[in-house]
């Protein structure tokens, strides 16, 4: 996933939780006693990254089974760091979590643990508390006043933390772009700029496209990423009549297409964890939606692998299959560069170096005693 290519007949050596080497078969020296798994014509890709989730302990395994080995959690909460530590320590099975802060909004708020900034004078103390808590990003939300938003931006810049999230209904999208918001979720802000009668999901059925090219160019120039969360919109729009829903989906796809063509970067995130988009499985809806909006299969997959890693500033850790990276890998019979549905039939997930068959059982391929010989197991050969 560094470029659009397939490296055929290669060996990937995993030691501990790291990829120790990648090279053509026969070129990689294996330490004595290394168990060898011959995947026999299958494909190996980086683990997927869902770039917009609301993580819950009860759903951790759903992500892993779907091949999601890392997530960006988009609303921090007090109990989450303990879960993150348990995953990192190996006491709990789950994807690696990179989390935004508790949401920052004007009162009364709509979600638990919201941090309120009703006056610009409160902004720096709230931002300082989120930085001290160790969150990766600040999450800004729907109802912040323009003055409060600007005060949060100033404090974030001074304290060296990126801010992501929604564009407040009181903040013009152009202002958010000029302010340096790192990512925008759900195309929030573009809706107020483009919908003729801004509102809920149905309002996307009628947009003014005359501003679209300019907004897309502005977004690319600002370096702002977008996470459209196609999967959750698909769930939300199910209650619309078929004609309205078709127009709404098509118009959102047109916005995504314009952003992509302008060179603005896109992330694959599902907004799972709020009982709308299914944790794990909805990544397939997201990738299919990106492809339907005009991204190539490689570009769509990049939004959930190396692109996500780039946004997280974790390119040295995840997102590609390369020496030194964390050993988060997927094994599947088909090539997702030919058909993204290949990702629906994962044979195994390698999570932080541990082989995990897709059915969740202990792998027959990796012995309890490393010195014991293990016969290779062939996966089905993909059709050529």
pLDDT more than 70, % of the chain: 93
C-beta neighbour count of 160 within 10 angstroms:
7
Question: Which residues form the domain of 71?
Answer: 48-318
User: Quick one: pLDDT at residue 268?
Assistant: 98
Angle between helices 123-132 and 146-159 (to 10 degrees): 40
Mean pLDDT for the stretch of residues 203-221: 97
User: Quick one: pLDDT at residue 364?
Assistant: 45
pLDDT band at 357 (very low <50, low <70, confident <90, very high): confident
Distance CA 259, CA 194 (A): 14
DSSP 8-state secondary structure symbol assigned to residue 363: P
Residue 34 and residue 78 in one domain: no
pLDDT band at 378 (very low <50, low <70, confident <90, very high): very low
pLDDT band at 370 (very low <50, low <70, confident <90, very high): very low
Whichever domain contains 10, its CATH number is 2.30.40.10
Residue 109 and residue 37 in one domain: no
User: What's the chain's average pLDDT?
Assistant: 93
In the predicted structure, residue 375 carries a pLDDT above the cut 50: no
Residue 30 and residue 169 in one domain: no
pLDDT tens sequence across 128-180: 999 999 999 999 999 999 999 999 999 999 999 999 999 999 999 999 999 99
Phi then psi dihedrals of residue 198, to 5 deg: -55, 140
Among 301, 318, 335, the domain boundary falls at 318
In the predicted structure, residue 376 carries a pLDDT above the cut 60: no
Mean pLDDT for the stretch of residues 193-218: 97
Residue 26 and residue 82 in one domain: no
In the predicted structure, residue 383 carries a pLDDT above the cut 50: no
User: Quick one: pLDDT at residue 253?
Assistant: 98
In the predicted structure, residue 362 carries a pLDDT above the cut 70: no
User: Quick one: pLDDT at residue 359?
Assistant: 67
pLDDT more than 90, % of the chain: 91
Global pTM value: 0.93
C-beta neighbour count of 235 within 10 angstroms:
21
Q: What six digits make up the tokens of 358?
A: 């897709």
Helices (H), the chain: 60-65, 80-89, 123-132, 146-159, 173-179, 190-194, 212-222, 230-236, 242-262, 283-292, 297-303, 306-312
In terms of Cβ atoms closer than 10 Å to its own Cβ (0-12, 13-18, 19+), residue 28 is middle
pLDDT band at 381 (very low <50, low <70, confident <90, very high): very low
Residue 263 and residue 135 in one domain: yes
pLDDT tens sequence across 244-298: 999 999 999 999 999 999 999 999 999 999 999 999 999 999 999 999 999 999 9
- Cα–Cα–Cα angle for 111, 94, 313, nearest 5°? 75
Residue 87 and residue 208 in one domain: yes
User: Quick one: pLDDT at residue 369?
Assistant: 29
Q: Are the C-beta atoms of residues 128 and 90 closer than 8 Å to each other?
A: no
Q: Are the C-beta atoms of residues 72 and 54 closer than 8 Å to each other?
A: no
Residue 96 and residue 144 in one domain: yes
Residue 251 and residue 348 in one domain: no
Q: Are the C-beta atoms of residues 160 and 135 closer than 8 Å to each other?
A: no
pLDDT tens sequence across 39-91: 888 999 999 999 999 999 999 999 999 999 999 999 999 999 999 999 999 99
Among 278, 303, 318, the domain boundary falls at 318
User: Quick one: pLDDT at residue 265?
Assistant: 98
pLDDT band at 361 (very low <50, low <70, confident <90, very high): low
Residue 293 and residue 163 in one domain: yes
pLDDT tens sequence across 310-333: 999 999 999 999 999 999 999 999
Mean pLDDT for the stretch of residues 111-122: 97
Number of domains in the chain: 2
Mean pLDDT for the stretch of residues 371-383: 36
In the predicted structure, residue 372 carries a pLDDT above the cut 60: no
- DSSP letter string, 340-354: GGGGGSEEEEEETTE
Residue 266 and residue 125 in one domain: yes
Residue 283 and residue 326 in one domain: no
């Amino acid at each position: 996933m560094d470029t659009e290519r397939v490296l055929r007949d290669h060996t990937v050596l995993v030691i501990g939780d790291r990829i120790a080497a990648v090279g053509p078969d026969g070129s990689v020296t294996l330490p004595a006693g290394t168990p060898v798994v011959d995947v026999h014509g299958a494909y190996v890709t980086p683990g997927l990254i869902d770039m917009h989730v609301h993580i819950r302990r009860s759903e951790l395994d759903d992500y892993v089974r779907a091949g999601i080995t890392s997530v960006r959690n988009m609303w921090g909460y007090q109990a989450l760091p303990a879960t993150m530590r348990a995953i990192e320590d190996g006491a709990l099975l789950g994807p690696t979590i990179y989390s935004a802060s508790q949401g920052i909004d004007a009162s009364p708020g709509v979600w638990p643990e919201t941090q309120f900034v009703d006056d610009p004078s409160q902004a720096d103390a709230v931002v300082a508390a989120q930085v001290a808590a160790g969150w990766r990003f600040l999450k800004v939300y729907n109802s912040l006043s323009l003055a409060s938003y600007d005060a949060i931006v100033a404090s974030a810049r001074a304290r060296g933390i990126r801010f992501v999230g929604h564009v407040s209904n009181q903040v013009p999208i152009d202002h958010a772009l000029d302010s340096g918001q790192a990512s925008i979720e759900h195309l929030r802000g573009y809706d107020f700029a483009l919908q003729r009668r801004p509102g809920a999901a149905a309002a996307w059925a009628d947009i003014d496209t005359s501003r679209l090219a300019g907004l897309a160019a502005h977004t690319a120039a600002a370096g702002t990423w977008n996470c459209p969360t196609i999967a959750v919109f698909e769930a939300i729009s199910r209650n619309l009549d078929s004609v309205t829903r078709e127009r709404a989906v098509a118009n959102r796809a047109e916005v995504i297409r314009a952003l992509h063509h302008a060179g603005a970067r896109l992330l694959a995130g599902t907004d799972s964890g709020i009982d709308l988009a299914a944790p794990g499985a909805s990544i397939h809806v997201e990738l299919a939606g990106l492809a339907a909006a005009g991204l190539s299969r490689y570009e769509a997959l990049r939004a959930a692998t190396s692109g996500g890693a780039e946004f997280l500033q974790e390119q040295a850790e995840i997102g590609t299959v390369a020496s030194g990276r964390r050993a988060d890998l997927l094994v599947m019979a088909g090539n997702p560069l030919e058909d993204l549905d290949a990702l629906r039939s994962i044979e195994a997930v390698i999570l932080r170096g541990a082989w995990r068959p897709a059915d969740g059982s202990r792998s027959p391929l990796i012995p309890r005693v490393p010195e014991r010989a293990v016969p290779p197991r062939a996966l089905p050969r993909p059709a050529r």
